[in-house]
């Protein structure tokens, strides 16, 4: 009997054209009957940062009694698009999407919207309008991170450096904006020169490999490295050491994330600083979902607050880092 009533309410709301309200009502009906179901499409799950983020989402869902359908695209954008289609077919109540690239998710966003499934972009941007093509973006401010990395490097290098930039995945919003923010500052200094800029895919093995090849073919002395994440910086440190250089002494290195190995490298005086990129986004993400269910207004971009790790504070945070 209750089911019939629920159905009648939903039909009533649809026919009276309550728009966004009817969708929310429908979700409430569903949750009343059973658990809410949320799909999470993760781009890959193979680095400390990604694993920390995945675990944060999973444990928060569990804590709140929400069923989570987890999809790992294993770095494959085609698979990630299919994963989203699968979640839409599963008629989940919400989709959380950590998109690998910026440009390629237009169709997926459109399909979720057509299916009236609110979609939250997590940690990276995908092209589209918040509130229109997706509900909101929950992520760090990558431009700010790039600017901070540059400011720190300028100071540490006394406004003069030959910089190697190890960029993240080409076409990802994290790589695009971290490069942009960095240049906004670096370009103001005549003697801060980027001598090489190459992608190392946000991972340690490529960081090492790419750094090795840059060292081999360099024309100028390398005095600084800016890596778009810690994993690549750690790979670069290994390559520099293998080539007889002394990271922390003759090469200043700055990166982004704040993972445990990076804090250890700061304490070892090999990494100069790491700009935090907080991966623990479970609580804020499910708060957004709960607030949205209550009909509250959701801001288009929810920005994580990130700190800066240096020798001043790394010891304090290393044990609790991921």
Residue nearer to ligand GYE on the CB measure, 47 or 147 = 47
Q: Using the minimum distance from each CB to ligand GYE, give the nearer residue, 135 or 174.
A: 174
41 sits near ligand GYE (criterion: CB under 6 A): no
Does residue 27 belong to the site contacting ligand GYE (CB under 6 A)? no
- Could you give the CA distance from residue 169 to residue 203 in angstroms, rounded to a whole number? 9
174 or 251, CB closer to ligand GYE? Answer: 174
The two tokens of residue 75 are 């770095």
CA distance 310 to 20: 46
Print the binding letters for residues 63-102 with ligand GYE: x by CB under 6 A, - otherwise. ----------------------------------------
Rounded CA separation 172/235 (Å): 20
User: C-beta of 230: minimal distance to ligand GYE in Å?
Assistant: 7
Q: Is 49 in the site for ligand GYE (CB under 6 A)?
A: yes
**Binding-site size, ligand GYE (CB under 6 A):** 11
The helix-helix angle for 48-63 and 230-242 (nearest 10°) equals 150
The mark string for 271-290 relative to ligand GYE (x by CB under 6 A, - otherwise) is ------x-------------
The verdict on 255 binding ligand GYE (CB under 6 A) reads no
Task: Please state, in angstroms and rounded to a whole number, the distance separating the CA atoms of residues 209 and 162.
Answer: 19
Contact 304, 287 (CB under 8 A): no
Q: Which of these segments, 44-52, 71-79, 111-119, 281-289, binds ligand GYE (CB under 6 A)?
A: 44-52
Q: Are 49 and 76 in contact (CB under 8 A)?
A: no
CB 131, min distance to ligand GYE, A: 22
In terms of Cα–Cα distance, which of 181, 161, 226 is closest to 200?
Answer: 226
Task: In whole angstroms, give the CA distance from residue 127 to residue 130.
Answer: 9
Q: Which helix (H) or strand (E) holds 211?
A: helix 204-217
Identity of the residue, 88 or 176, whose beta carbon is nearer to ligand GYE in the bound complex:
176
Q: Which is closer to ligand GYE, CB of 40 or CB of 162?
A: 40
Which residues lie closer than 8 Å to 5 by C-beta, 6 or more apart?
Answer: none
Using the contact rule CB under 6 A, the part of the chain among 45-53, 89-97, 101-109, 150-158 near ligand GYE is: 45-53
Residue ranges in 103-162 that form contacts with ligand GYE under rule CB under 6 A: 123-124
Residue of 60, 257, 261, 306 that binds ligand GYE (CB under 6 A) = 257
Question: Which residues lie across from 306 on neighbouring strands?
Answer: none
Contacting residues for 184 by C-beta, under 8 A, at least 6 apart: 143, 146, 147, 150
Where along the sequence are the contacts to ligand GYE (CB under 6 A)? Answer: 47, 49-50, 123-124, 174, 202, 229, 256-257, 277
């Amino acid at each position: 009997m209750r089911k019939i009533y629920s159905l009648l309410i939903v039909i009533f709301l649809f026919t009276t054209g309550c728009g966004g309200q009817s969708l929310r009502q429908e979700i409430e009906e569903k949750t009343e009957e059973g658990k809410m179901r949320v799909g999470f499409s993760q781009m890959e799950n193979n680095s400390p940062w990604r694993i920390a983020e995945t675990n944060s989402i999973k444990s928060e869902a569990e804590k709140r009694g929400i069923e989570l359908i987890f999809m790992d695209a294993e770095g494959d954008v085609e698979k990630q698009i299919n994963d989203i289609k699968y979640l839409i077919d599963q008629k989940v109540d919400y989709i959380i999407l950590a998109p690998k690239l910026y440009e390629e998710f237009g169709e997926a966003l459109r399909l979720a919207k057509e299916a009236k499934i609110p979609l939250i972009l997590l940690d990276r941007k995908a092209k589209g309008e918040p509130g229109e093509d997706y509900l909101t973006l929950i992520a760090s401010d990558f431009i700010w991170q790039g600017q901070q990395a540059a400011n720190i490097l300028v100071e540490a290098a006394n406004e003069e450096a030959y910089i190697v930039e190890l960029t993240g995945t080409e076409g990802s919003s994290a790589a695009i904006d971290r490069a942009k923010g960095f240049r906004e500052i670096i370009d103001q200094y005549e003697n801060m020169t980027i001598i090489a800029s190459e992608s190392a895919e946000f991972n340690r093995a490529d960081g090492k490999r790419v750094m090795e090849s840059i060292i081999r073919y360099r024309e100028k002395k390398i005095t600084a490295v800016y890596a778009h994440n810690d994993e690549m910086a750690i790979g670069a440190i290994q390559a520099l050491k293998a080539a007889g250089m002394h990271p922390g002494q003759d090469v200043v290195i700055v990166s982004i994330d704040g993972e445990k190995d990076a804090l250890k490298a700061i304490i070892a005086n090999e990494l100069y600083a790491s700009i935090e990129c907080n991966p623990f986004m479970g609580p804020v993400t499910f708060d957004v979902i709960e607030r949205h269910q209550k009909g509250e207004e959701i801001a288009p971009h929810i920005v994580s607050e990130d700190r800066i790790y240096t020798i001043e504070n790394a010891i304090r945070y290393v044990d609790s880092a991921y």
